[in-house]
Amino acid sequence: MLEELNLQNIDAALMLFKKYQEFYEVQNIDEEKNRKHLQMIMDNEELGKLFLAQDNYTYVGFATIYYSFSSRIAEKIAILNDLYVLDSNRGKGFGRQLLEHCFIYLKTRGINTVRWTTRQDNVTAQKLYNYYANGTEWLMYSYKI
């Protein structure tokens, strides 16, 4: 079962968010900052959307999309910024369900392009991503100011 982030599931989302940050070895995880971030998403649908996956009434994963624009194609686009499924639930189709749910949701909003990145060593995620899209000739850079 998939559902949108809301007041009833925000604590579960925060737990998954923290697990995701631990997976990517984020130092000094700030749970209050995470709560404010998720609240911001809930309060303004124009910024993005977070969807949660459940298995037998237990939250097992999430996907987050944010909106941006592309001058190259002159369109609003979506960034699939996060896709995470708990280790114990990987390989059961939850990642695929979350991805496809995001695609359908975006299509209903008139958004036809979704972009995402993953770490080069995250081959598990790449197997799923390669089912939908090929990598591109573009490199992704990140600079912390």
pLDDT tens profile 75-84: 999 999 999 9
Handedness of CA 40, 42, 43, 46 (dihedral sign): positive
Q: Which position has the higher pLDDT, 16 or 126?
A: 16
Would you state the pLDDT for residue 131? 64
* Whether the predicted pLDDT of 64 surpasses 80: yes
Beta-carbon contacts of 9 under 8 Å, excluding residues fewer than 6 positions away, are 3, 52, 59
SS3 per residue for 86-101: CHHHCCCCHHHHHHHH
**Domains with residue ranges and CATH for the chain:** 2-132 (3.40.630.30)
Helix axes 10-23 and 31-43, enclosed angle (nearest 10) = 120
pLDDT band at 124 (very low <50, low <70, confident <90, very high): confident
User: Is 51:30 a contact under the CB 8 Å cutoff?
Assistant: no
Would you state the pLDDT for residue 66? 96
